[in-house]
Structure 1
Amino acid sequence: MPADTALSPEVLEALALPRFTGLDEARAAGRACVWGGEPLVIETAVDLGEQHDSTAGTWFPRASRQAVAERARRAFTAHAPACPACRDEDQVDCPLGAELHRLTLVYTAVRYCSRCDRQIAPDEDHATYQSQQASGPGGATVYTHSRPCQRQR
């Protein structure tokens, strides 16, 4: 994540950033998602910023885009009902709610159904297929709704 979008301590707390103590070496070093443990690559990893730990010193946690989106969505869902500013759709002055919502939007993969061309919601059941080119390398990931597609009106 660019330096100008560093996450605040409040957002990291809402995302439940784990403490350094107890993490395996790959997660602590930022080579694996701090939450899920899956290996990360530079192009897709989300930098969670410089963190300070009393026993370990400075560390730099990273996460997968999917983990950040899911944690932000869960944190916003838990935060919004108790926050008057988030409950009022006309107000946009809750920095925590706004940042959690932004993280959800930025890091949620957008998928479209190859049958009906409608967007598949993050919590909607879908199937994933790998299609191969008739000749040569390549292919694409294709998504479809798990249930019959609804007709567009």
Structure 2
Amino acid sequence: MNGTLEITSEALAALKLPAQQELDDGQRRGATCVWCGYALNAESAVDLGEREPPERWFPRACRPCTGRRAHSGFFDHVQSCGHCAHRPTLCETGRLLNRLTLRHWVSCGRCGDRIEPGRPYDAFVPESATGFPPTVYTHREPCKPGPASALRP
């Protein structure tokens, strides 16, 4: 989920959504990721907002694809934005792309490696003493133990 972030049309342009006619029915309905086709549910989906032309559709994406696209879009945007070049905090689009990157760049809680778009992953919420439990993501297939291996489900 993207929480309360409202994704602006400028940020959507930087994410480079595929053309609607290139998508299958599941991708247009938001059942699968618009970029990799990964099956989505309420927990794993990032809502990219309802779109109209040429017809109404509801793009959604998986967290790894959103993070990767936002990261790439942020760097493309910064190169052409006068505000971002000198005072990035003044640019709404740059701030939003940076937030999307930080929120959705997904790393495995076991090995620490990035979970690539389209790769199966599991999400779980461990118990937390703070009352704000983080969601931990892990590769679905076995992965090598790494520095975050204490977070095993």
- 1:110 CA drift (Å): 4.9
2: CA distance, partners of 1:109 / 1:2: 13
Q: Give the structure 2 partner of residue 129 of structure 1.
A: none
Q: Does 1:101 pair with 2:98? A: yes
Instruction: Give runs of aligned pairs for residues 39-78 of structure 1, distance below 5 A.
Output: 39-54=39-54, 57-78=55-76
Structure with larger Rg: 1
- AA of the residue aligned to 2:48: L
1: CA distance, partners of 2:27 / 2:36: 9
- AA of the residue aligned to 1:109: V
Count of aligned residue pairs for this structure pair: 121
Q: Relative to total residues, which structure has the larger strand share, 1 or 2? A: 1
Give CA-to-partner distance per residue, 1:106-148, whole Å, 9 cap, x none: 111255677xxxxx5859xxxxxxxxxxxxxxxx957527xxx
1:31–1:87 CA distance, 2 compared to 1 (3 A): same
TM-score (norm 1): 0.67
Give CA-to-partner distance per residue, 1:57-103, whole Å, 9 cap, x none: 21111100110100000011112133232223x55101111110010
1:39–1:121 CA distance, 2 compared to 1 (3 A): closer
1: CA distance, partners of 2:113 / 2:85: 22
SS at match of 1:92: helix
Q: Where does structure 1 lack aligned partners over 5 or more consecutive residues?
A: 115-119, 124-139, 146-153
SS at match of 2:67: helix
1:68–1:4 CA distance, 2 compared to 1 (3 A): same
Q: Give the structure 2 partner of residue 144 of structure 1.
A: 146
- AA of the residue aligned to 2:80: A
1:26–1:108 CA distance, 2 compared to 1 (3 A): same
Contact conserved, 2:88 with 2:94, CA < 8 A, in 1?
Answer: no
- 1:6 CA drift (Å): 2.1
1:87–1:28 CA distance, 2 compared to 1 (3 A): same
- AA of the residue aligned to 2:44: T
Moved over 6 A (4+): none
Greater RCO (Cα-Cα under 8 Å, separation 6 or more): 2
Q: Give the structure 2 partner of residue 35 of structure 1.
A: 35
Provide the identity percentage. Answer: 35
Q: Does 1:87 pair with 2:89? A: no
